Amino acid sequence: MNHPDRVFSFKELESEDELVEAMINHKWPICYGFYLGKLLYLGDGDSEDLPEYAVMTVDKTEGHHGVIGREVGRIKPRGLSAKQVHEFIREMEAGHYQFENPAKVEAEPIWHHSCQFCRLAEDE
């Protein structure tokens, strides 16, 4: 994880198509992520303009929003085709991981989340 101390947020998605759409056709705060199948795709980059997602298993939860698992892949979807992103997601879902590094993060549902990266200016 590039940012293990970041408090991530996630939205549960129902399909691979939704995840591809979210990754390549939208701009999100850098704390945003997605949950599909049994994997979290967490915004772990440094810029909204160059998104990067860390893919993480959810092996165990701890407390309200603690997630203990393994970082198993990374994707920078900017400039990739929908087909390439679909292929990456299918590899991850099939368990064909790029690596397996222990990870522990805080990941909150989007409806519960607010941090310095996604808070609206008038909220401050």
Beta carbons of 36 and 89 less than 8 angstroms apart: yes
pLDDT in tens, 35-68: 999 999 999 999 999 999 999 999 999 998 999 9
From residue 52, give the alpha-carbon distance in Å to each of 6, 28, 64, 121.
14, 11, 25, 24
- pTM score, whole prediction: 0.92
Q: State the pLDDT confidence band at 70, using cuts at 50, 70 and 90.
A: very high
C-alpha 74/C-alpha 91 separation (Å) is 12
List the end-to-end C-alpha distance of the chain, in Å, as a whole number: 28
